[in-house]
């Protein structure tokens, strides 16, 4: 977006309130289709989905439809997915094509969007200029292993838009990860209600109480221009971010060897993400490998070292990340507007929510789990549809998150609700999201709480 400059100020911890218009108003939802979505960078698919020339993915956002294609071995192109003749949507879903063929009157386009066939072209008497016939281009770029599109031809470059999130997350080499699983569904809430369930950890005590026996989830949070992130924090202010990160991740049990193993096992079983089999197995050995009474920071260092070694032995190389950087990068990012990334050394749990039509009470929600695999050991995955109540497919922790979404959506419409009260220290991502959304929308900025 060329007109609005992202803020780089220090976190503003002044308490604020945010109105409900952005979540519940049909007019606001409609306006997003004009002011937000056509002007913002959006991740459309993973690069891994289009490895070969001719592989394509269609990305739909409200009324707009975009065709993303690997047009050359080293080039990804994006076009409006609409036939120049009478406006039929050209392609759907994903697949492979040598060229794009419109199924209405058989016009054709090559992978670079040039029209290569008009049936009975002479009937136009030479009036059809190639420029008028070609598919209209959309700005496209890649970062983190995702393909990003922006419908605004004057938008700022993707890299600039993503900073400082891009530089903070680059060391994790998300582009080296591949899908482990990916699921989607239609949810009964606004897309923002869904996103906000995953950009703070203040909700853990209320929503995931079963996790409290393993660790305390007090967090810091920070606004980063368009984006934001949060991470673990001990309540003791004398501890550095790095020390806090280690202590919290070591768990709250008296014996860190046991609490690390228990937490890894619980997360693997109930989230099916945010850890890997390697971590679970390395954690399970801690009791045999270390003497009782080993201090938590030593247990944590040993745990990471043996997981790193196990992965190396099976051909999975860890990125080298400075521990301070790791701590400062936190546990999850909101990349404005609708990507949430909970990252680790060899994995990431990502969420996306998009509007479903112009109904403010509906969205398309997607979760994708990325992991580093040995070369050639990447699983073949597809998008799997799952109802928001399907605990078999989503596992229990996400089902707990989902249960809040529709209840929040309904609650916010109640005439007795006076606007949200996000936690100024732990829910900065929620506040910053609305501050930035208001820059696009021209309305609805968080207001100081008097």
Q: What distance in Å separates the CA atoms of residue 38 and residue 137, rounded to the nearest whole number?
A: 13
Tell me how far, at minimum, the Cβ of 161 lies from ligand FES, in Å. 34
**C-beta atoms surrounding 400 within 10 Å:** 21
Question: Of the candidates 72, 75, 104, 387, which one interacts with ligand FES according to CB under 6 A?
Answer: 104
CB of 112 to ligand FES, least distance (A): 18
89 or 395: whose CB is closer to ligand FES? 89
**Cα–Cα distance list, 85 to 69, 115, 242 (Å):** 21, 10, 59
Among Fe ion, ligand FES, none, what binds residue 401 when CB lies within 5 to 8 Å by partner kind? Fe ion
373 - beta bridge partners?
A: none
Task: Please give the helix or strand (H or E) that residue 109 lies within, else none.
Answer: strand 108-109
Beta strand extents in 28-93 (DSSP E only): 42-46, 55-61, 64-72, 75-80
CA–CA dist 190, 70 (Å, integer): 32
Q: Which does 28 bind (CB under 5 to 8 A by kind): Fe ion, ligand FES, none?
A: none
Q: What does the alpha-carbon distance between residue 395 and residue 403 come to, in Å, rounded to a whole number?
A: 13
Q: Is 200 in the site for Fe ion (CB under 5 A)?
A: no
Nearest approach, Cβ of residue 200 and Fe ion (Å): 9
Cα 275 from Cα 283, distance rounded (Å): 11
Minimum distance, C-beta of residue 84 to ligand FES, in the bound complex (Å) = 7
Which region, judged by CB under 6 A, interacts with ligand FES, from 99-107, 284-292, 335-343, 401-409? 99-107
Among 107, 148, 187, 347, binds ligand FES (CB under 6 A): 107
Helices (H), 314-374: 323-329
We find the least distance from the C-beta atom of residue 103 to ligand FES, in angstroms, to be: 8
Contact 382, 180 (CB under 8 A): no
Tokens of 338: 């609708």
The CA distance from 232 to 240, in Å, is 11
- Interaction pattern, residues 30-69, with ligand FES; x per rule: CB under 6 A: ----------------------------------------
Which of the choices Fe ion, ligand FES, none does residue 277 contact, using the CB cut-off of 5 to 8 A by kind? none
Q: Does 83 bind ligand FES (CB under 6 A)?
A: yes
CB 125 to ligand FES: min, Å: 18
With CB under 5 to 8 Å by kind, the binding choice for 358 among Fe ion, ligand FES, none is none
What radius of gyration, in Å, describes the C-alpha atoms of the chain? 23
- The item of Fe ion, ligand FES, none sharing an interface with residue 139, based on CB under 5 to 8 Å by kind, is none
**Minimum CB distance to ligand FES, residue 96 (Å):** 20
The residue range among 82-90, 276-284, 364-372, 383-391 that interacts with ligand FES, by the rule CB under 6 A, is 82-90
Instruction: Choose the contact partner of 285 out of Fe ion, ligand FES, none; CB within 5 to 8 A by kind.
Output: none
In 163-252, alpha helices (H): 165-169, 191-196, 204-207, 241-250
CB of 77 to Fe ion, least distance (A): 37
Instruction: Characterize the bridge pairing of strands 384-385 and 178-187.
Output: parallel
Tokens read off for 57:
């993915």
CA distance 425 to 404: 21
**Residue 325 binds ligand FES (CB under 6 A):** no
Three-class DSSP category at 95 = strand
Q: Does residue 85 interact with ligand FES by CB under 6 A?
A: yes
Q: Label residues 117-145 b or e (16+ Cβ within 10 Å = b).
A: ebeeeeeeeeebeeeebbbeebbbbebbb
**Strand (E) or helix (H) holding 278:** helix 277-284
Smallest separation, CB 400 to Fe ion (Å): 6
Choosing from 12, 17, 65, 88, the residue that interacts with ligand FES (CB under 6 A) is 88
Site residues for Fe ion, 398-417, by CB under 5 A, read 401
Task: Give the shortest CB-88-to-ligand FES separation in angstroms.
Answer: 4
**Residue 224, interface with Fe ion (CB under 5 A)?**
no
How many residues sit close enough to ligand FES to count as binding (CB under 6 A)? 8
Residue ranges in contact with ligand FES by CB under 6 A: 83, 85-86, 88, 102, 104-105, 107
Residue ranges in contact with Fe ion by CB under 5 A: 401
């Amino acid at each position: 977006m060329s007109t609005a400059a992202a803020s780089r100020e220090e976190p503003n911890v002044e308490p604020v309130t945010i109105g409900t218009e952005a979540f519940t108003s049909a007019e606001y939802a409609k306006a997003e289709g004009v002011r937000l979505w056509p002007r913002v960078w959006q991740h459309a698919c993973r690069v891994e989905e289009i490895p070969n020339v001719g592989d394509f993915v269609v990305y739909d956002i409200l009324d707009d439809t975009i065709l993303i294609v690997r047009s050359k071995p080293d080039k990804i192109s994006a076009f409006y997915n609409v036939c120049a003749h009478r406006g039929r949507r050209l392609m759907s879903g994903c697949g492979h094509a040598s060229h794009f063929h419109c199924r209405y009157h058989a016009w054709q386009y090559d992978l670079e969007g040039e029209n290569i066939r008009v049936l009975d072209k002479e009937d136009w008497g030479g009036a059809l200029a190639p420029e008028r016939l070609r598919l209209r281009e959309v700005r496209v770029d890649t970062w983190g292993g995702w393909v990003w599109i922006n419908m605004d031809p004057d938008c700022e470059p993707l890299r600039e838009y993503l900073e400082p999130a891009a530089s903070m997350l680059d060391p994790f080499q998300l582009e080296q990860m591949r899908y482990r699983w990916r699921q989607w569904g239609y949810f009964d809430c606004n897309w923002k209600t869904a996103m906000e369930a995953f950009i703070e950890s203040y909700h853990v005590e209320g929503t995931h109480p079963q996790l409290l026996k393993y660790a305390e989830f007090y967090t810091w949070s920070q606004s980063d221009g368009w984006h934001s992130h949060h991470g673990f924090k001990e309540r003791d202010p004398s501890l550095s971010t790095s020390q806090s990160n280690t202590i919290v991740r070591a768990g709250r049990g008296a014996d860190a060897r046991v609490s690390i193993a228990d937490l890894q096992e619980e997360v693997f079983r109930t989230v099916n993400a945010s850890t890997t089999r390697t971590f679970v197995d390395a954690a399970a050995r801690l009791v045999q490998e270390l003497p009782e009474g080993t201090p938590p920071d030593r247990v944590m260092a040993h745990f990471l070292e043996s997981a790193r070694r196990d992965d190396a032995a099976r051909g999975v190389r860890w990125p080298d990340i400075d521990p301070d950087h790791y701590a400062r990068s936190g546990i999850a990012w909101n990349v404005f507007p609708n990507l949430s990334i909970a990252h680790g050394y060899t994995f990431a749990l990502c969420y996306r929510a998009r509007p479903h039509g112009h109904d403010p009470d509906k969205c398309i929600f997607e979760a994708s789990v990325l992991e580093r695999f040995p070369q050639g050991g990447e699983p073949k995955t597809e998008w799997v549809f799952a109802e928001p109540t399907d605990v078999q497919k989503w596992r229990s922790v996400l089902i707990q998150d989902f249960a809040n979404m529709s209840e929040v959506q309904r609650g916010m419409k109640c005439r007795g609700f006076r606007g949200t009260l996000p936690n100024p220290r732990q829910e900065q991502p929620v506040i910053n999201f609305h501050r930035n959304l208001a820059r696009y929308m021209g309305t609805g900025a968080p207001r100081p709480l008097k």
